[in-house]
Amino acid sequence: MMAGLSSPEQVGEENIRLAGRDIPVRWRRSARARRVSLRIDPRSPAVVVTLPPRVGREAGLALLRTHAIWITTRLDRLPAESPWHDGGQVLLDGHPHTIRHCPDGRRGVWIEGDTVMVSGEAPFLRRRLAAFLRQEAGRRLGARMALLADQSGLRPRRLTVKDTSSRWGSCTSDGSVMLSWRLLMAPAEIQHYVIAHELAHLRHLNHGPDFWMLVTSLTPHRHTAEAWLRRHGPALLRAS
């Protein structure tokens, strides 16, 4: 979660041979990047290489080759993709809910106890469920952010909910906060930490000592949440 970072510009995709395997690599360029960096995008899955302005592709290739074993190991450790289907499960606030296809239903998507009911034709189940979850995330995460904002006096200019590939949240210099809708699948205390983290950026647009002191005053869940997201975050990003 980084404060005020603009989305890098995508500059191309290709397969590159690393450690004896063809690895999908997505090249991006960022005006704010100060050095070449790479990360694993668990949703693709692929390696994303970010280049600063005026830094050539060779620098990125050198970094890829240096970290070839790390890259292949991380890709191999990603959880298996778990497509949503009739009889499968989806998490809501950390609790598993069974997915039930109701082809003759007339209510779109709705929740009954620990079951998520999805009407319509089977080929559209995943798309309809994803749209519902994103809407539900906006409602639930928005309410939880409003509550913590009222308690702390830290009120964002606006909140947007997006489907991101790496960040769980972000805050820009104009006071806008973004949250990943996939946080809806995480337990409430994990959501609380991410929301507190981004609200703290409204006062400190950095990760200095004063920022972390404010985060600690807003939520008791920092260390638990960071460990949980490291362990379970990739699975949330691959759920679809």
Condensed to tens digits (0 to 9), the pLDDT of residues 16-51 reads 999 999 999 999 998 888 999 999 988 888 999 999
Whether 145 is covered by a domain: the verdict is yes
CATH number of the domain residue 222 falls in: 3.30.2010.10
The residue range of the domain holding 102 is 89-238
> Is residue 211 one of the residues assigned to a domain?
yes
What distance in Å separates the CA atoms of residue 219 and residue 68, rounded to the nearest whole number? 38
pLDDT at 8 > cutoff 50: no
Q: What is the pLDDT of residue 32?
A: 84
Q: Of 76, 107, 133, which closes a domain?
A: 76
CA dihedral 56, 46, 23, 68 (to 10 degrees): 70
Say if residue 47 is in the same domain as residue 100.
no
pLDDT value, residue 10:
52
Q: What average pLDDT does this structure show over 177-200?
A: 98
Last residue of some domain: 76, 111, 132?
A: 76
CB contact at 8 A, 25 and 31: no
Q: Pseudo-torsion of CA 128, 125, 239, 14, nearest 10°?
A: -90
Amino acid at 81: E
Percent share of the chain, pLDDT over 70? 95
pLDDT tens for each residue of 37-92: 999 988 888 999 999 998 999 999 999 999 999 999 989 988 877 789 999 999 99
pLDDT digit string, tens, across residues 194-207? 999 999 999 999 99
53 and 155 co-located in one domain: no
Which secondary structure element, helix H or strand E, spans residue 213, and what is its range?
Answer: helix 209-218
